[in-house]
Amino acid sequence: MQNENVVRTEVNVLKIAESYGFTLDSIHETTHRGSCPKCGGHDRFIINVERNRWYCRKSEGHTGNNRGDAIQLVMLVEGCNYVEANRLLSSSALARTSTVAPATPKAKEITPTDPAIILEMKAIHDLAWQHNTEGSKSSDFLLSRGINRATQEAWRMGLSCYEFASGYKTPTVSLPWYDDKKQFCGISHRLIKPLSKDYKTMFPKGMKWGSLLCGWHTHQAANDTLVIVEGILNAPSIYQAMSGKFNVLTPGSENCTFSRWPMDAIRRHKRIFVWADKPEVAQVWADAIGEGAIPMYSRISADGIKLDANELLRRDVLRAQLLLRQRFAVAGKHPGQIHITLR
């Protein structure tokens, strides 16, 4: 009989899932998702190949665990206890065919942005930054969102314009993107009047934004807490609420790939919060960063407003929320659901 530890660490969770006939889509070289064998849905069941773990983002409907390794997956599917699952796994052909080391993720080749395009974006950014003066369209928009002039300056936010392929032009707040070596690598445009939910943040054609993070230009080596947050306006909101004492980075959108995130520079922080709108996105990012990264997501208020970082800043509760979460993290407790009564 196989040693339990061998089963736990070596049986490939993805292969077990496949042997049970799960259909999973690969959303990233390390992440597969699909329907949960326990509670259904179509994308709530997630397998992280790199960590060889599974996770269901719906904890309701799971009387036992909603995450785990190969044994816990067998427990979930077979509805059996730990000892029984371990026995099944140890004795079955299933384990023998799947006792392989987790697949090593292939380094996906991502073509870097063309240097000529970077130069062009740099020129646009330099002008945009100068145009974000007091009383300008961008500055007034940011002030209406609670982002003050000092934060606008620290994040080098600019007034720019985005032109759609149709020729339609619209004013934007632009943000420069720097890498962890503080090299300029691009620019994003947050439409001041978004056309729709899907056309809010735009990137210049040719910019390979998908694997980059914005915010390294405000990064302080002395800060030991990092927040990675979805949303262009959420990042400066957190920076402002914490008076620059938390480092903040944003991939811009949930549709990013993290295969080229500078993980060493990220993991250097003592505490890492990962805040996305959807809990499953936060979980996937936290899993990619590894042990200790704490997933958070935006709650929806009773009247249907998404309480993201910018909304909490405007309600003047963002700092309190973050400090509370930090205190829980210091105490080694999972922050879980922390509720702050909103006025």
Q: Which is nearer to Zn ion, 261 or 297 (CB)?
A: 297
Distance in Å, CB of 57 to Zn ion, minimum: 8
Q: Hunting for tokens 């960590």 — which residue is that?
A: 51
**Among 33-41, 228-236, 241-249, 303-311, the segment contacting Zn ion (CB under 5 A):** 33-41
Distance CA 301, CA 314 (A): 14
Q: In what order do the strands lie in the sheet with 184-191?
A: 158-163, 169-178, 184-191, 201-202
Distance in Å, CB of 71 to Zn ion, minimum: 17
Binder of Zn ion out of 27, 39, 161, 342 (CB under 5 A): 39
Residue type, 209: W
**Among 50-58, 162-170, 230-238, 303-311, the segment contacting Zn ion (CB under 5 A):** 50-58
Q: Which is nearer to Zn ion, 3 or 59 (CB)?
A: 59
Q: Which of residues 127-156 bind Zn ion (CB under 5 A)?
A: none
Q: Which is nearer to Zn ion, 79 or 206 (CB)?
A: 79
If one asks whether residue 38 binds Zn ion (CB under 5 A), the answer comes out as: yes
> Any idea of the CA torsion for 266, 270, 271, 276, to the nearest 10 degrees?
0
If one asks whether residue 57 binds Zn ion (CB under 5 A), the answer comes out as: no
Q: Which is nearer to Zn ion, 37 or 210 (CB)?
A: 37
C-alpha gyration radius of the chain: 22
**Among 29-37, 122-130, 187-195, 269-277, the segment contacting Zn ion (CB under 5 A):** 29-37
If one asks whether residue 77 binds Zn ion (CB under 5 A), the answer comes out as: no
Do residues 269 and 224 lie in contact, with contact meaning Cβ atoms separated by under 8 Å?
yes
Question: Which uninterrupted H or E stretch holds 8?
Answer: helix 4-10
Q: How many chain residues interact with Zn ion (CB under 5 A)?
A: 5
Q: Which is nearer to Zn ion, 27 or 39 (CB)?
A: 39
**Among 30-38, 108-116, 151-159, 204-212, the segment contacting Zn ion (CB under 5 A):** 30-38
Binder of Zn ion out of 24, 36, 47, 281 (CB under 5 A): 36
Q: Which is nearer to Zn ion, 174 or 283 (CB)?
A: 283
**Among 58-66, 85-93, 161-169, 280-288, the segment contacting Zn ion (CB under 5 A):** 58-66
Q: What's the Cα-to-Cα distance from 98 to each of 92, 173, 179, 193, 341, rounded to whole Å?
A: 10, 51, 39, 52, 49
Distance CA 110, CA 246 (A): 30
> Any idea of the CA torsion for 301, 304, 308, 311, to the nearest 10 degrees?
-80
Distance in Å, CB of 41 to Zn ion, minimum: 7
In 164-231, the DSSP E strands lie at 169-178, 184-191, 201-202, 225-229
Distance CA 323, CA 328 (A): 9
Q: Residue 323 has which token pair?
A: 């400090």
Distance in Å, CB of 38 to Zn ion, minimum: 4
Of the candidates 319, 167, 316, 298, the residue with the CA atom closest to the CA atom of residue 244: 319
Q: Which is nearer to Zn ion, 61 or 290 (CB)?
A: 61
Q: Which residues pair with 28 in a beta bridge?
A: 31
**Among 55-63, 120-128, 274-282, 297-305, the segment contacting Zn ion (CB under 5 A):** 55-63
Backbone φ and ψ for 15, nearest 5 degrees, come out as -65, -40
Cα dihedral sign for 150, 151, 157, 159?
negative
Q: Which is nearer to Zn ion, 66 or 237 (CB)?
A: 66
If one asks whether residue 56 binds Zn ion (CB under 5 A), the answer comes out as: yes
**Among 53-61, 95-103, 135-143, 276-284, the segment contacting Zn ion (CB under 5 A):** 53-61
Distance in Å, CB of 56 to Zn ion, minimum: 3
Q: Residue 124 has which token pair?
A: 């646009």
Give the N- to C-terminal CA distance of the chain in Å, as an integer: 60
- What residues line the site for Zn ion (CB under 5 A)? 36, 38-39, 56, 58
